[in-house]
Structure 1
Amino acid sequence: MIDVLFFAELQENVGNEKVSVEADGITVTELKNNLLSTYKLDTLNNAMVAINEEYARENSVVNRGDVVAFIPPVSGG
């Protein structure tokens, strides 16, 4: 099981700050595709990704027990 955390508008679109995904040994890209097929997350591909509180790349591998966070870009004014 992988815990996925969402922030800002991603959290609003999912309707929850965290979901659990049954997966092991998948890439961030594969995880994103899984989430995109389940939720309406138009800005997911613009979000930064962290695995276990360390920034990750699209080809980083996510394993069972990991916590993945999707952090959309922020703007201020």
Structure 2
Amino acid sequence: MEIQVIAFGIAKDILGGHQITMELPPAATVSDLKSKLMGQFPDFAKLAALSVAINTSYATDDQEIRPSDEVVIIPPVSGG
């Protein structure tokens, strides 16, 4: 299945843009997405944390992704 992935902050820099299209197997999970991202973009493995939101809610690694879902990568946030 083909999904659209939206990225912010350092994740956007790693992907080289705000949005990319990725191909995942049917019934793929957030964990599958993270593995594929780290395989294609090794700099993701250097981040302290990487969260994924699906349809405006934080997703767990075992959550299934559907082609119509809005998938957003949320990198670690720092500030003061």
Q: Please, what TM-score do these two structures have when normalized by structure 1?
A: 0.86
Structure 2 partner of 1:17: 18
Aligned length: 76
Distance 1:13 1:22 in 2: 18
Describe the superposition over 1:12-67 as per-residue Cα deviations: whole angstroms up to 9, x where unpaired. Answer: 11111111112231010011111111113122x71221011111100000011222
Distance 2:52 2:41 in 1: 17
Distance 1:15 1:56 in 2: 23
Give secondary structure in 2 for the equivalent of 1:46. Answer: coil
Give secondary structure in 2 for the equivalent of 1:50. Answer: strand
Structure 2 partner of 1:47: 50
Distance 1:72 1:22 in 2: 21
Post-superposition offset of 1:70: 1.2
What percent identity do the matched residue pairs reach? 33
- CA root-mean-square deviation: 1.4
Distance 1:53 1:35 in 2: 20
Runs of 4+ in 1 over 2 A off after TM superposition: none
Distance 1:61 1:48 in 2: 15
Greater strand content:
1
Counterpart of 1:54 in structure 2: which amino acid? S
Post-superposition offset of 1:2: 0.9
* 2:72 is the counterpart of 1:69: yes
